[in-house]
Amino acid sequence: MSDVVVTGASSGIGASVSRRLQAAGHRVIAIVRRDDAMPASAAVVPVVVDLRADDLVALVRAAIAEHVGPAGLGGVVHCAGQPTLGPLEHVPLSQLRASFELHAVALVALAQACLPALRRGHGRIVAVGSVGGRVATPWLGAYGASKFALVGLTGALRHELRPFGIHVSLVEPGVVDTPMLPAGEQLYVDALAALPATETAYAAGLARAQATYRRATARPMTPDRVATAVMHALFAARPRPRYLVGVDAHLATTLQWLLPTRAFEWLVRRL
């Protein structure tokens, strides 16, 4: 049995990863936002932490010191996520910063806080990104850019931590059936409502994207499918650097590779 830190552990992909870890006999150090989000048990230690906190490194270090013994950590899985939507011209910079803090900066903070325990436990780091971190799309610029940042950060960490035998993997799913799906629908409604009346071009593009979103999210993959990739990254003898998960994710990246940039971007705008 090993201890594994999981962010976003109370719902969606994080909850599925947590269940899989418990079923395999591991203990989950669950980073959650609310003290009622996840009950404590012999296999779950909930730790209430705001992943955007300025003192995040100190908070996580304190939790590790309190709950993790000399054997160290078997892994850190960063699943926490929150969508941000709207034309970049009108996205509040506070939301842009918050997206980077939650998805990208928090990963570095977790690494800084957990690496001593990961070295002791010969553990691994797994970040859950998105195919939106490979393919730029309109209206999701703030969210997608923060996921693009994960590509660079996990790549750099993978190089830097190789001498210590600590593997770093990035899991990049397509559309997943999580609480983010209904939240995403509402974000389109809110973004359209927030547009000035004169922004007719943005309104038309957002309305078209909203219809595409409904089609794309009609048949999402299960969180457990993503959790399977996470478990492989954590425990396989030869973990992959990157895991692309889902038919939609594979299709998008294949088309991006096959088509000239102008043709691919035309296709993205037409969706």
Please identify every residue annotated as catalytic.
143
122: left (phi over 0), alpha (psi -120 to 50) or beta: left
The Cα–Cα gap between 205 and 225 comes to: 32
Per the DSSP assignment, residues forming a β-bridge with 162 are: none
Rounded CA gap, 112 and 240, in Å?
22
Query: Which string of DSSP letters, residue by residue, matches the chain?
Result: --EEEEETTTSHHHHHHHHHHHHTTPEEEEEESSTTSS--BTTEEEEE--TT-TTHHHHHHHHHHHH--TT-EEEEEE-------S-TTTS-HHHHHHHHIIIIIHHHHHHHHHHHHHHHHT-EEEEE--GGGTS--TT-HHHHHHHHHHHHHHHHHHHHHGGGT--EEEEEESSB-STHHHHHHHHHHHHHHHS-TT-HHHHHHHHHHHHHHHHHTSSPBPHHHHHHHHHHHHH-SS--SEEEESHHHHHHHHHHHHS-HHHHHHHHHH-
